[in-house]
Amino acid sequence: MTQSLRVGGRLGKYRLERKLGEGGSAVVWRARDTVEGRRVAIKVVNDSVIADWGRAAVEGEARVAAQLDHPRIAGIRNADWIGDHFVMVTDLARTSLDEYPGARRSPDLALSILADVAEGLAYAHERGLLHRDIKPANIFLYEGRRAKLGDFGTARLAPAATRVLTEVGTFGYIAPEQAYGRARFASDVFSLALTAYELWAGALPGWPFEWPFEGAQRFVARCPVRVQPVIRRALTLDLRKRWSDAVEFHEALTKAIESTASDRAKSKKKNRSGARAPRKTGTPPDPFVLEIEWFRKRFGRALDATYACHACEGPVSESMTHCPWCGTTRNSFVHVTRFPLVCPSCERGVRPEWKACPTCSRGRFEGNGKAIPISRQSERTCRRPGCGAPIDRFMRYCPGCKQKVARPWKVEGLDPCERCRWPMASRWRFCAWCGKKNSAAMDVSIGRRRRGRGHA
C-alpha cells in the first residue's frame, strides 16, 4: 500500500514540512534532511505516472536529468525509491519565478534571469535533451537572485492534458508545434522567450502570435533595444526563421547583452565628459524639477532620500513605502540598496543579522544568529522584553522581533502627517509612510505646472 504524504510526515530520512506545488507528473515538497540537517526540495512522482510509464521509464528520465551538471540547472542530488514512491531531491530554492514580482519590476533583473536560464538550456540542448515545459513555475531563484532551470526528468512524463493546452484556446507557455505533439529544440526557445516577454510586457501573448503582441508598447519601452530582435525572432511561428536551439539563442543573447552594456558605458562616459547643453532661451524650468531640487537640499540628507522613483524620478528613500511625489508603491531597491541582502517581499535592503524586514515585516528569511550591530542610523532600542535590538531611524518594525515601532519618527522642519503622525513635507503629494493624499500640494503643483508651461 502506498504511504500517504502529509505535513510533518516522514519519507525515508526526509521530514515533510510544506507542499510547494503539484503538477501533472509530480508533487513537490519542502523537506528537512534529518541526517544532513539541511532543507531540500523533494519531487515525488505521481503514482499514475508510474503506472502509465513503468518503473524503468521513470528511472531512465531521472538518470538522464542527473547527468546535467551545470550551475544554471537545478540538478538532481539524489533519486531513489522510498517505499512505493519515486523521489528526486534537489537544492531548495528561495522562490520560483512565478512567485517573484521583483523580476517584473526590474527590467535588468529580468534580463539577468533570462541570460541564466538560456545558458542552462543551451547546455542541455548541446547534450540532446529537451525540456518541454519551460515556464515561470519551473525557473527557480537562489542566493543572489541567480536563476536555474528546473523540472528536468519529469516534464516528458506529464499527462498529455497538461502538456498541450492550459485552457481552451490558450497555449500558455508552450510553442504551437509542441501543443500538437511535434516538440523540438526550437520549441524550448519559444517557451523561454515567451516567459521573458511576459516579464517585460506584463502580458502573455496568445494565438495567433502576430506582432504587435499584447503589451508590445511596454515591452519596447522596458526591454533593451539590442535584445528585442533576439526575443522577437525566438517568438516567430515559422520554424525556419526561429532560432533552431538554445545554443544559437544564447549566443545571440550574449552578444546583445554585451552590446547593451557597451552602449550604456559609452552613454555614461559621454554624459560625464560632454559639455552641458545650453538651456533654451525663453523656456522656463519645470516647476517639479525645482521642487525636488529644493527638497533634496533641505531634507534629502535627513530623510536619506538618495534614490530616484522609477515612475516620476522624484527623490525617495528605502524606508518610504510610497513615493511622496507620485504615490507609487512599486519602487524596487534590488540593484541599488547599500545593504548586502534584499527582502523578497518589499525588495528593500536588509542585513544578514536581521530576523525580520524592518519595512514590511513579511520578509521570509532567517537571521545568521549573530547579534544585530549598532549602526550610525541606530537611534532607539527595542523595548520588548528579551529583545533589545537596535532600531535604525525610520524603521517601522524591530528587525529582531517584528515588534511595531510605537512612537512616530520626527524630522526638524517637517510637520506630522494627519493620519500616521510621521514627518511629511508640505510639498509632498502623498505621505511617504502611509500614502495619504495631500490635496493642497496637488492643487498648488497643478497651478505651478500650468504657469510653467505658459498656460493661463
Instruction: Please identify every residue annotated as catalytic.
Output: 133
Number of other CB atoms surrounding residue 328 within 10 Å: 16
**Rounded Cα–Cα distance for residues 240 and 228 (Å):** 19
**Sign, CA torsion 346/350/353/359:** negative
| Cell of residue 37, nine digits | 540537517
- Cβ burial of 436 (10 Å; 0-12, 13-18, 19+) is middle
- Print burial letters for 90-123: b (CB count within 10 Å at least 16), e (below 16): bbbbbbbbeebebbbbbbebbbbbbbbbbbbbbb
CB burial readout 206-234, b (16+ within 10 A) else e = eeeeeeebebeeebeebbbebbeebbbbb
List, as one string, the DSSP characters of 337-383.
Answer: -SSSEE-TTT--EE-TT-SS-TTTS-------SSPPPP-TTEEEE--
